[in-house]
Structure 1
């Protein structure tokens, strides 16, 4: 048994703690927040092996530059004279290649599929009650060009063994007969599932605390003491913590702490927004509005409208232009849905940690022997949460990992 401290209480931190506890380790979670908001709570709730194309793909940087002057665009990269951002942007641009896509496809698929299986396993094993439905995910297109692009991606997914098919407008309307839809057609990923994120998070926190895992909320770690290439303690102004092993799962804040160890994690926070509505619109199928990159999810008791990727540093400022963009896109595809001012005013956001190549960092850096890094999942953190947690526990327990970790190595070069 090892004494393990997990820094970060989001989906990755909680799942790491869960599997470490299952392996018999003594686990403590430390988080700088109250652990009731952020990307793990406001995401679209998708378990999406369908999202096999990494964010860094050919043409994305070009689109990002074009969209830079449009604050309502799906991807908004705010240029800043900051050395960390400039290094990340340079590495992201280099990663927008066919080679990165080809390497990323199996890496994303494998960890996402494992994650989906583990959600089901956790629910059954622990008798959790969180929503978990496998209805699939629609990629709804309004233009022939986008439909052709989505069909191309679907063919790649099919070759990878994922269940996916094109769906006609007629079939689309039969799937959701109670809602008006303005579209050309869609692709249906039958392999996908969806959840209500806060339900899982609350159940997992309750389970961990009842099982003896110690959780320290509102504790920001400022300092790390290193001796002989190992962390001997971590601390802030009021507390010092000692452990055998440490897990860095602090999301977008991970690079701030890793820098103190001499580990250069290229990481940028990607802000996403969500609007919730408790009205019944008749939406029964999760869908992504392909041109607008807006996700719509029927959750437990409400419908969630989520989207945008805003690379603009660490902040939780609500950009109303981007909130309005989600609402406007929704009405373009679903003409009868007009989100109210009250619903838009309750919009909130979360910061997703984005690596330059769109793949997570999972593993031990050669610069620190008792630190396991688990961050950088971009838009796939929810899909990859349990699988990342399991991999972390296997690393620390000196077991053979369920997946080959080389592609996720935190010291990889860009």
Structure 2
């Protein structure tokens, strides 16, 4: 059994892996290495939607496991209070800017303009969709891990000896470089994974989002919108109310390459203002609320796909990877952490069927 496990990446996949490894009965020593800060990337800037049954066959088993784990962790660690876990009704609404109708549509929350809506559909109920505040989740799960050592430093390479045997992880700490020794390494570095593991090719897209505070509570709904603007353009922002704010995000772009670190991500405030303008069509709360944050992050997409890559890295002994979750990292992160802990400490994955996510598919 491994005694020293190093997890690279402080997003939800890395944090969840560290949590379940630290709680495993074999009691390994677990070190988490993060280059910027916990949840500095997409895991701190995502909407936090959880969906039970929106996934293809490759990830459906993992998604169902993860959805259950989200609920159980919220129960165990008071997640409703600590990271905003709650069930949602999820709607798809079509709107037209400037449209005036008197039609009342059942199921539409009272904070949404009825008169601009042209169509409403149901995507999920409180039995199949939920939400978390992702950054708060990550920060809390770190606190609830057993004897976890967290190092803020830039992991630059997987260190092997002359016989290709794993030594550990080379880390830049301030102006110094050192090797953090390990029996097993888990790379959960999201879009930065390829820089440590060139054989695991991850592509990226940048996503912008905003959070808006309101003066009144907002119902537990998630909205997927299709809005025809007066200009004739069609935009599709997503809106996720939380207990104390509303999160909204827009389309992705490829205009700026992935930076060295998550803390270096550039924010295009013009794109954020476009999100605010677009969602203002839907609700006065969004038009008149106070903008708290304009932010951006990069989503990791597995080049092989479909779905993420989870398992042992081909050609590297005792190195595992968990990455490429695209927009479903928050949803499927806890399940990924659980199966990674089983793979490493039990020798096989017990809780989900994820054979088609094996990184060996990269080797032709």
Aligned residue in 2 for 1:124: 75
Q: Would you say the 8 A contact 1:49–1:108 is kept in 2? A: no
Contact kept? 1:139, 1:188, Cα under 8 Å? yes
Aligned equivalents of 1:10, 1:348: Cα separation in 2 = 16
Call closer, same or farther: CA 1:359–1:169 in 2, change over 3 Å.
farther
1: CA distance, partners of 2:89 / 2:64:
13
* Cα distance in 2 for residues equivalent to 1:192 and 1:177: 20
SS where residue 404 of structure 1 aligns? coil
Structure-2 separation of matches of 1:299 and 1:323 = 19
Q: Does 1:310 align with 2:253?
A: yes
Gaps spanning 5+ residues in structure 2: where?
A: 97-102, 228-234, 260-264
2:222 to 286, 297, 313: 286
Asked whether the 8 Å contact 1:352–1:379 carries over to 2, the reply is yes
Cα pair 1:327 1:339 within 8 Å, conserved: no
- Matching residue of 1:364: 312
2:92 counterpart SS class: strand
Bigger mean CA deviation after superposition, 328-337 or 303-312: 328-337
The 8 Å contact of residues 9 and 187 in structure 2, kept in 1 or not, is answered as: yes
CA 1:110 to 1:36, structure 2 compared with 1: closer, same or farther past 3 Å? closer
Task: Specify which structure has the higher proportion of helix.
Answer: 1
Match of 1:17 in 2: 18
Name the residue aligned to 1:224.
Answer: 158
Find the aligned partners of 2:217 and 2:73 in 1 and give their Cα distance.
30
Render the CA deviation track for 1:231-287: whole Å, top value 9, x for unaligned: 22221342211111000001111100002xxxx222122222221111146642111
CA distance in 2, matches of 1:255, 1:223: 11
Mapped to 2, the partners of 1:307 and 1:206 lie a distance apart of 32
Q: How does 1:16-165 map to 2 (within 5 A)?
A: 16-23=17-24, 24-52=27-55, 105-128=56-79, 129-142=82-95
What is the TM-score with the length of structure 1 in the denominator?
Answer: 0.73
Q: Which runs of 5+ in 1 are unaligned?
A: 53-104, 144-167
Shift of 1:49: 3.2
The correspondence of residues 3-14 of structure 1 with structure 2, limited to 5 A, is 3-14=4-15
Aligned counterparts of 2:28 and 2:158: Cα–Cα separation in 1: 22
Deviations along 1:176-225, one digit per CA (max 9) or x if unpaired, are 124314222122311111112222122112222xx2110001x0012322
Q: 1:177 corresponds to which residue?
A: 110
CA contact (8 A) 1:6 1:247 kept: yes
Q: How far did residue 392 of structure 1 move?
A: 0.5
Q: CA 1:336–1:47 in structure 2 vs 1: closer, same or farther (change >3 Å)?
A: closer
1:274 aligns with 2:209: yes
Structure 1, 321-330 or 22-31: larger mean CA deviation: 321-330
Question: How far off its partner does 1:18 sit?
Answer: 0.8
Cα pair 1:17 1:389 within 8 Å, conserved: yes
Relative distance call for 1:281 and 1:314 in structure 2 (3 A) is: farther
Matches of 1:293 and 1:37, distance apart in 2 = 25
- The question of whether the paired residues in 1 share the 8 Å contact of 2:340 and 2:349 is answered with no
Distance 2:77 2:276 in 1: 37
- Is this contact kept in 2: 1:169–1:185, CA < 8 A? no
Residues 193/267 of structure 1: CA separation in 2 closer, same or farther (3 Å cut):
same
Q: Is the 8 A contact 1:178 1:282 kept in 2?
A: no
1:246 is matched with: 185
Instruction: State yes or no: 1:334 paired with 2:334.
Output: no
SS at match of 1:204: helix
2:327 equivalent to 1:383:
no
1:410 is matched with 359
Structure 1 residue 363: Cα displacement: 0.5
| Match among 295, 298, 301 for residue 354 of structure 1 | 301
Taking the aligned partners of 1:287 and 1:323, their CA distance within structure 2 comes to 18
User: Residues 294 and 358 from structure 1, CA distance in 2 versus in 1: closer, same or farther, beyond 3 angstroms?
Assistant: farther
- TM-score when normalising by structure 2: 0.83
